[in-house]
Amino acid sequence: MKIDICTLFPEMCETVLETSIIGRGRKAGKLDIACHHLRKYTIDKHNNVDDTPYGPGKGMLLQADPLYRCYEAVCEIRQRRPHVIYMSPQGKTLTQKRALELSKMEHLYIICGHYEGVDQRLIDEIVDEEISIGDYVLTGGELGALVLVDAIGRLCEGVLAHESCFSEESHFNGLLEYPQYTKPALWHGREVPEILMNGNHAKIERWRREASLKNTYEKRPELLKTAPLTEKDKWYLRTLGWEEEQDIK
């Protein structure tokens, strides 16, 4: 998977991207990630990347031309046209489902906005999709891009040890994960559930499924509307007070 990030703060991105699982994925050659400094793609002597917006109002806007030149340079280096994402509070909110779809793509190009954002004509010219990391406004696109790259990168083949490392996690199958415990078995008077220590795999699997359903019902009941539920799951949820009809409304 190739990912190019266009940013005014490459050092901010690099620090995060060389750490932990994403850093290891890069070292192992599974993730080919490059950060491109937008200022290098200016042609005026002051390396300006921004200007005032047309019409009344305050603030500055990233100009289309340096952003476009950076994009063209990346197309040239990689010898391909990437899938172009603009990080934006106006985009569709990132989900695990979209992260998984994006992890199957060969090459992503991520644009980090700043100030008041970017000239709309650049978006119209090259952007395939706008992605938001939530309904709030950040100063720049870097934190969003890092969230996106982390969410996608760990799903790429060979980055985590096994697919089960992510396929059993929250949101992968529409539910939240079950609670987990590690040693010691007794901590501050709190015990690890007995069933997890008795080695009966079938019983542990059922316990985990029910704990996952309970977690989801208690923390994010709206997820149950779209989660793939078996009749056995629904029966269990009803014992908790869940009402299917009510939740569908």
Q: Enumerate binding residues for ligand SAM (CB under 6 A).
A: 87-90, 112-114, 116-118, 132-134, 136-141, 144
Token pair for residue 43? 């042609």
- Looking at the Cβ atoms of 41 and 178, the one nearer to ligand SAM is 41
Rounded distance between C-alpha atoms, residue 8 and residue 113, angstroms: 8
Helix H or strand E segment including 246: helix 244-248
CB of residue 5 to ligand SAM, shortest distance in Å: 11
CB of residue 59 to ligand SAM, shortest distance in Å: 8
Rg (CA), the chain: 23
Is 134 marked as a binding-site residue? yes
CB of residue 62 to ligand SAM, shortest distance in Å: 7
CB of residue 137 to ligand SAM, shortest distance in Å: 5
Rounded distance between C-alpha atoms, residue 77 and residue 48, angstroms: 24
Distances (CA, A) of 121 to 8, 12, 53, 56, 129: 19, 27, 13, 19, 14
Tell me how crowded residue 187 is: count the other CB atoms within 10 A of its CB: 11
Is 77 marked as a binding-site residue? no
Distances (CA, A) of 22 to 76, 149, 156: 25, 8, 10
CB of residue 48 to ligand SAM, shortest distance in Å: 17
Q: What values do phi and psi take at 49, rounded to 5?
A: -115, -10
Is 133 marked as a binding-site residue? yes
CB of residue 139 to ligand SAM, shortest distance in Å: 6
Question: Residue with CB nearest ligand SAM?
Answer: 113
- Looking at the Cβ atoms of 34 and 60, the one nearer to ligand SAM is 60
Q: Does the N-terminal peptide bond of residue 184 adopt cis geometry, omega within 30 degrees of 0?
A: yes
- Looking at the Cβ atoms of 23 and 91, the one nearer to ligand SAM is 91
Contact 157, 104 (CB under 8 A): no
- Looking at the Cβ atoms of 114 and 214, the one nearer to ligand SAM is 114
User: H helices within 127-229, ranges in order?
Assistant: 142-153, 164-167, 201-219
- Looking at the Cβ atoms of 130 and 247, the one nearer to ligand SAM is 130
- Looking at the Cβ atoms of 33 and 111, the one nearer to ligand SAM is 111
Is 41 marked as a binding-site residue? no
Tell me how crowded residue 14 is: count the other CB atoms within 10 A of its CB: 16
Is 4 marked as a binding-site residue? no
Annotated binding site, which residues? 113, 133-138
Annotated binding site for S-adenosyl-L-methionine, which residues? 113, 133-138
